[in-house]
A and B are shown apart, each in its own frame.
Chain A
Amino acid sequence: MNSMNTPNASGPLEDEIAQWRAYLSRRQAVQSVDVAELEDHLREQISSLTGAGLAADEAFLVAVKRMGALDGLSREFAREHSDRLWKQLVLAPTDSGADAATQRDGIAALGFAIGAGVAVKVPVLFGMDLDTHESVYIRNLSFFVLPLLTAYFAWKRQVGTATIRALVAAFAVAAIAINVLPFTPAGTTEVLSALHLPIALWLVVGVSYASVRWKEVDGRMDFIRFSGELFIYYVLIALGGGVLTGFMASIFLSVGIRVDTFFQQWLIPCCAAGAVIVASWLVEAKKSVVENMAPVLARLFTPMFALVLIAFLVTLLVTGRPIEIKREILIMFDGLLAVVLGMLLYSMSARDANAEPTGYDALQVILVVAALAADAVALWAMATRIGELGSTPNRLAGLGMNIVLLVNLAWSAVLYIKFMRGRGEFAALERWQTSYLPVYAAWAAVVAIVFPFVFGFV
């Protein structure tokens, strides 16, 4: 801004105006153009007052006073511009430099998404249809989307050649291994491998996502945040897609055309693959514009999950009923631990590491401890009967994942309690979580690749 027009405008006055401007800019309903307009007013008022004989600092005080209380002012602005209180995901920012970059990014994402959609149909070129060669699709579930997603981030972050080589090698090894192994078609180990390979390869996506920051706590934390938001966006897109396909099927049916085959063979698989990349791009584009959803959901459900778990533990104690030992129960407990871990992670990801412990932190600890107790009861029941049950691949995979999650949560609880008692730092908890990421991938890789050998590809 030009300060030549007010001869009395000295350094302190400019500082004060800058401070006032910054204070005003923080109001959500007041945008930068309004700040410019109001600043012009303020300056005119100041120069008129100094012209009347006031000192610069007095003139500033009077001018600010006449402008009115900022709370009332921003309330008036909010009433006129209520839309501004809703942050909008603007995909084309007004800044021309950022504009070109966003546009290029969007086009690239669309290209990769189409690539993922096409990848789903690649096996058809070799005469392998989804109906006739289900096994091929199950095994290669990970390779329709994840390589393209990894490539997208590698392109976006301009990952170095050494890293690219490692990424390609990881995918190549996984792809060869899963396709060469002599699985029994649709057998247990094949399904287990297909389910665990994406978990292992998600880490490869993370390396590409965080690129040079992969070794840092912050880089990995960003990847955790990204994963949570991606999941939420993907679910939302899937819901929208469901509505669209539902209407599409109905309107075509009204003229007597059935589109079921087109849906099952083309639309749904191709779009489901492409949507992962579109959702990833959306998460990246909106991350600074819209509040992250995962921490909000975590905050919302932490008390409820804690309550439910405590009620369950009390019920166990009071009634003394034993936990039924079934594979489904084990998987359910795995899921429970994963959800609790997710709530812990996403609450952490939104927390200021330097903030003092609050009541919500205590609630987190209660949730984790309650989940650990419930899981320990289940594991105890299982351990006592593991001999007579025998170890199937499914049971072992479920048990392994349970232990992986249990160890994470147990040590998290220790670190959290230390932090609550002022004997440790919150950063230690973050470091523990981010360092633990490779463990999930390692266990998943063991299940995907080693289990088939151990159990004879059943």
Chain B
Amino acid sequence: MEISKDLTAASSTPIVLSILNDGDSYGYAILKRVRELSGGEIEWTDGMLYPVLHRLERLGHIKARWGESETGRQRKYYRITASGRAHLDEERRQWKVVNTTMRGIWGSIQVAFTRTPPARPLLLLAPQGI
């Protein structure tokens, strides 16, 4: 699924911080994890992750160090910092509010829709393009 640019920008910080909160990681593995967790729905352009990582590093939310991959290649690993955890908590709170609100709105709309036109309710639920 194509996720809009604004939404990608807004969600990348909590996603990256959450993944690093589970343990140190590096760029490729972070992207792989995002793909897995979203069931392949979120597809970031690979290169775009790195400016995000660098921004988080500049803000002090994560810390980078050069290490070696299992094959001996130079690899940059990232670790979440205390400030990053605090920021993640804050983000989580905000997203929860947004999430609850949207569920509330969309829940009631869907109910409203399914109630008023009793005829052909299936059309609304059917995937588009069929």
**Which residues of A does B touch, CB under 8 Å?**
1-2, 4-5, 33-34, 36-38, 40-41, 43-45, 66-68, 72-73, 76-77, 79-81
Contacts and interface: CB of A to CB of B under 8 A. Distances in A.
Most buried by A among B51, B54, B58, B74: B51
Contact of B73 (A1, A33, A76): A1
A44 B28 contact: yes
Main SS of the interface on chain A? Answer: helix
Given A66-B45, A68-B45, A73-B47, A80 B58 contact: yes
A246 B72 CA distance: 59
A40 B47 contact: no
Given A40-B26, A81-B54, A73 B71 contact: no
Contacts of B14: none
B78 to A, nearest CB: 10
Contact of B48 (A4, A34, A68): A68
Interface in B63-85: 69, 71-76
A79 B27 contact: no
Interface residues of B, number: 19
B55 interface: yes
Contacts of B75: 37, 40
B96 to A, nearest CB: 28
A98 to B, nearest CB: 21
Nearest to A36: B74
Nearest to A40: B75
Q: List 7 tightest A-B contacts by C-beta distance, closest first.
A: A5-B71, A68-B45, A68-B47, A73-B47, A76-B51, A80-B51, A44-B28
Interface string B111-130: 00000000000000000000
B46 A80 contact: no
A67 to B, nearest CB: 4
Given A37-B27, A40-B75, A80-B51, A67 B46 contact: yes
Contact of A41 (B46, B58, B71, B72): B46
Contacts of A45: 28, 46
Given A2-B71, A5-B72, A36-B74, A73 B27 contact: no
Interface in B87-102: none
14 contacts: A2-B71, A2-B73, A36-B76, A37-B27, A37-B50, A37-B76, A40-B27, A40-B73, A41-B46, A72-B47, A77-B51, A77-B54, A80-B54, A80-B58
A4 B71 contact: yes
B60 to A, nearest CB: 14
B46 A68 contact: yes
Given A68-B45, A80-B58, A43 B73 contact: yes
Nearest to B29: A44
Nearest to B69: A40
A326 B26 CA distance: 76
A330 to B, nearest CB: 60
Contacts of B72: 2, 4-5
A403 to B, nearest CB: 61
A81 B54 CA distance: 9
A38 B47 contact: yes
A183 B57 CA distance: 70
A77 B51 CA distance: 5
Contacts of A72: 45, 47-48
A42 to B, nearest CB: 8
Contacts of B55: 80
Contacts of A2: 71-73
Contact of B76 (A4, A5, A40): A40
Query: Chain B CB within 10 Å — which of A67, A73, A80 has the most?
Result: A80
Given A72-B48, A81-B54, 11 more contacts: A2-B73, A4-B71, A37-B50, A37-B76, A40-B27, A40-B74, A41-B47, A43-B73, A67-B47, A76-B47, A76-B48
A40 B47 CA distance: 12
A39 to B, nearest CB: 9
A38 B28 contact: no
Nearest to A81: B54
A67 B46 CA distance: 4
Contacts of B45: 66-68, 72-73
